[in-house]
């Protein structure tokens, strides 16, 4: 699991980004946390929201996830996804979220 350098943080996680990053990398986040990830290749989704336990399962299956946000709960994850899409559109004039993070 790769944590992108341009991470977005929820209201709960923004004050302790290193702590939450470390906990995610070491499997120490509780299951009520969500990650916002870039979609798998070939997907038409702009972003995907996964519970931490689902992200860990995907990683064990060999899927390479690129995390662009960490949130405490699904509602905060949806807020982050909305902020990301808005930021991408405001800065680029399009909705190519993956390209935005690949630059």
Q: What residue has token string 């992108």?
A: 4
With beta carbons less than 8 A apart as the criterion, state whether 68 and 36 touch. yes
The domain segmentation of the chain, as residue ranges, is 2-102
Q: Which pLDDT belongs to residue 54?
A: 94
**Cα 40 from chain centre:** 13
Secondary structure (3-state) at 92: helix
Q: Could you report the per-residue pLDDT of 10-61, keeping only the tens digit for each?
A: 999 999 999 999 999 998 988 899 999 999 888 889 999 999 999 999 999 9
């Amino acid at each position: 699991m790769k944590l992108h350098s341009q991470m977005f943080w929820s209201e709960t996680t923004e004050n302790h980004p290193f702590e939450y990053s470390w906990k995610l990398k070491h499997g120490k986040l509780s299951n009520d946390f969500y990650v916002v990830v870039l979609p798998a290749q070939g997907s038409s989704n702009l972003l995907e929201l996964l519970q931490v336990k689902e992200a860990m399962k995907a990683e064990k299956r060999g899927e390479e996830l690129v995390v662009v946000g960490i949130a405490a709960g699904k509602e905060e994850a949806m807020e982050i996804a909305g902020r990301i899409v808005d930021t991408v559109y405001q800065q680029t004039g399009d909705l190519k979220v993956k390209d935005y993070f690949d630059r």
